[in-house]
Structure 1
Amino acid sequence: MNTVKYPIMLLVLVLLSGCMFPQSEKAANSLPNDAQLAQVQNAVDKFKQQQSGRLPIKTKPEETPVFQKYQIDFTRLKEAGLLMEIPGTAFENGGYYQYIIIKPETEAKVKVVDLRITEKIREIETKLHFYEEKNQFTPYKERIAPGVYSLDHEKLNLDGPPTVKSPYSGELLPLYVNGSGDVLIDYRKDLNSFLKEYDHSYDTGEDIRYLLTQHSAVAPVYSPPYTIENGEPVFMQQAP
């Protein structure tokens, strides 16, 4: 009897642990839900009110890109008694998302950055910087737009043109590089879909990236500014 009982019990434990582990992983990996975002937004709003307009953010260099610049400092929210627990999806609590603030001067809206995208960008940037140090030039391939270029993936020992999974559609988005050697994500596929799906009043010359944050919790990090021409998303004019 024992020779049958214990293997069965062991099998049950393995199956249970196999079910529970993915759930815990799912909680950390999944996109923050409305309740989590609302909780953090409420804490940020109260902090701003109590601190005469100041925000609970970490200090970043002035040149930090806009969708990475205003990272929420959960410690300050907890010390102020405005947040009891850091969301499980937050990087600070083992999750894959960095909570940020966009439009700090006006709305101060809470959004998130998928740090798995950051990891992918850093992987490509590391290969790129090693190549530049060794060869003294950037392996540009084609000019995509003024100041935006594709990379020669063969010179970087990549299997194909570099891409990253879109946090909006799940499609693969191209990675390009600007004249300074910074790796960029081309969100035109997503922007095109959002322009068609949602009503908007954007005009040529306006930054349409905020259409993405208007209808999603995720911020379009590592993106150049885009505008709209003839109903289509285009890169804003940059230095060649």
Structure 2
Amino acid sequence: MPKRLFIRVAKRFIAVRRLFLATTIFFIVSILLSGCLYPGRDLPSTENISEDLERVQKAVDLYVEETLTPPVREATWDAEKKITGVPVDFSLLIGRYLVDAPKSAYERGGRYQYVLLADDETFIVRLVDLTLSQSVMDVQQKVYAYQQRTGRLPLGEPIIHLAPIGGAGTEDAAVYALDTSALGEAVKSPQSPYSSYRLPLLITARGRVYLDYALDLALMKERAGADDASVLQGKIDARWLLIHHAPFVPALSLPYRFEEDEPVIVRE
């Protein structure tokens, strides 16, 4: 991994690390009991995620082959949904293509949302880890509360200032590390679904909270193959590298591209 990238990501993470080392371990059960995200009360086992994913992919393939349409409620993919996917509509699959939705699925109380991505001429099934969504939602609420109290945003170290498009204003184009110490309470960075690292928290000049996948992208680059040439050359969004080599989509992320072999945030 490039040394300067590691140093840069480490700097983003220092403030969060100081806080979470002093806090207790984050329990997913507490999220479930809050009832604000999951329909079920217990987390299902994730040991068979690969089997579940393969089973749903086969069902989707058969459905598309027979109907010529993907099994989703909204068959439109804007720029963001091309990366985050569109939720699979299990009601279109259960009965003829599946006995039931997997236990790992949100619809059955699981922690994952199964989504479809349009990749060239095929549809691929991937997972959104909803614990990431819950974590960012919690932090976003703290940011809003801080802004209401102080009239300011908890902006930390500036990460990048993105060039405006078509003469648009630049106030929403700056990205910063989130100054978690300014929030006045412990804020824990969520666990990455791709590695043993935690995901640093980012914030835009308009107060939107995102997750930083730069380190995961740098690590995943080591697994890249010939099919990833367009990604490594910076021609397409670098997040496709994560999608092609792991079962998860990079939830709540900003666009990245590889520049000089390093993943950098860009404005699409």
1:174-213 alignment to 2 at 5 Å? 174-199=200-225, 200-201=228-229, 202=231, 203-213=233-243
Q: Are 1:47 and 2:47 an aligned pair?
A: no
2:103 maps to 88
Instruction: State the shift of 1:33 in Å.
Output: 3.0
Unaligned runs of at least 5 residues, structure 1: 1-24
Instruction: State the shift of 1:180 in Å.
Output: 3.1
Q: 1:93 and 1:76, CA in 2 relative to 1: closer, same or farther beyond 3 A? A: same
The CA RMSD measured in Å over matched residues stands at 2.6
Count of aligned pairs: 211
Q: 1:130 and 1:29, CA in 2 relative to 1: closer, same or farther beyond 3 A? A: farther
8 A Cα contact 1:29 1:96, kept in partner: no
Unaligned runs of at least 5 residues, structure 2: 1-40, 162-173
What is the aligned-residue identity percentage? 28
1:1-240 alignment to 2 at 5 Å? 28-30=44-46, 32-52=48-68, 54-59=69-74, 65-66=80-81, 67-78=83-94, 81-103=96-118, 106-146=121-161, 147-159=174-186, 162-199=188-225, 200-201=228-229, 202=231, 203-237=233-267
1:172 counterpart SS class? coil
Whichever residue aligns with residue 185 of structure 2, its letter is L
TM-score by length of 2: 0.71
Instruction: State the shift of 1:90 in Å.
Output: 0.7
Whichever residue aligns with residue 152 of structure 1, its letter is D
In 1: Cα distance, 2:224 partner to 2:120 partner: 25
Instruction: State the shift of 1:231 in Å.
Output: 1.3
Whichever residue aligns with residue 154 of structure 2, its letter is P
In 1: Cα distance, 2:61 partner to 2:149 partner: 49
8 A Cα contact 1:56 1:74, kept in partner: yes
In 2: Cα distance, 1:60 partner to 1:163 partner: 33
Deviations, residues 115-140 of structure 1 (Å, cap 9, x unaligned): 11111111101111122233333221
Q: 1:131 and 1:29, CA in 2 relative to 1: closer, same or farther beyond 3 A? A: farther
8 A Cα contact 1:74 1:86, kept in partner: yes
Dislocated runs of 4+, deviation >6 Å: 60-64
Deviations, residues 153-209 of structure 1 (Å, cap 9, x unaligned): 22212336x522110112112010123322111111111011123223121242111
TM-score by length of 1: 0.78
In 1: Cα distance, 2:235 partner to 2:51 partner: 35
Q: 1:26 and 1:131, CA in 2 relative to 1: closer, same or farther beyond 3 A? A: closer
Deviates more, 1:88-97 or 1:25-34: 25-34
Whichever residue aligns with residue 75 of structure 1, its letter is S
Instruction: State the shift of 1:31 in Å.
Output: 5.8
